[in-house]
Amino acid sequence: MIELKNVCSGYGGRTILQDISVSFPQRSVTVLLGSNGCGKSTLLKTALGLVPASSGAILYDGQEIRHMSLRAIAQKAAYLSQARNIPNITAGRMVLHGRFPYLSYPRHYSRADREIVRQALERTGSLDLGDRQMSELSGGQRQKIYISMALAQQAQTIFMDEPTTYLDVRHQLDTMRIAREVAQAGAAVVLVLHDLSLALRFGDQIAVLDQGRLAQLGTPEEVFASGVLDRVFDVRVCRMETEDGWHYYCQT
């Protein structure tokens, strides 16, 4: 499990995250919520060591990240960034990149590596896309390939920065369904989202950031009941009960 204890971090001498303490348990989907610029993406990058913490501790299964190699970190945590270039390779080759933390250079993929990739593509329903060029795929299809790459990395924790952005409703739901299934299979999944409805519907744990501080941490029910979302987003968050459970929506 990855834990942040009293962590502060930022860029260029400017502190963005202040005294953040949060853990990301296995078999759980944690969603980071907050207004633009509140530090959600910075939190992901800090947890991965991409942005150094100025104080506090980041622990991977009890070991401080500053004592770990980049390769060791990559074997425990996968990261799907918000902005990604579209390489001129096939989708299958893209997913093979998930095996990099386990290979020396020059890289030679074993039969086991290729089987792991096949299983990852199968889990995201993308097995038929393996031979197609990344540039030929739709945004939703590419997102499934990137998630497949993260699955092929076989990390205990998967961080995704705004994975539903620019996707249509069907692919948004597909992405959240995959995140839920991956968590149920044993991983910790951490998502930055802007859609409050998706976050409260699919998240097990909600972390609300406000101006770089952790304003609330709890279950969707606890966060909704606290009223913190109304204050942070300056909207009224409402809900209605359906056959599938609570569905959330916003009013101004």
Segment 75-107, tens digit of pLDDT: 999 999 987 788 899 999 999 999 999 998 888
Structure confidence at residue 148 (pLDDT): 96
Q: How confident is the model at residue 236 (pLDDT cuts 50, 70, 90)?
A: very high
Q: Is the pLDDT of residue 135 over 90?
A: yes
- Quote the tokens at residue 51: 């942005």
What is this structure's pTM? 0.92
- CA 228 to CA 126: how far, in whole Å? 38
CA–CA gap between residue 182 and residue 178 (Å, rounded): 6
Is-contact 82 34, C-beta < 8 A? Answer: no
Average pLDDT over residues 138-159: 94
Alpha-carbon distance of 123 to 145, in angstroms, equals 11
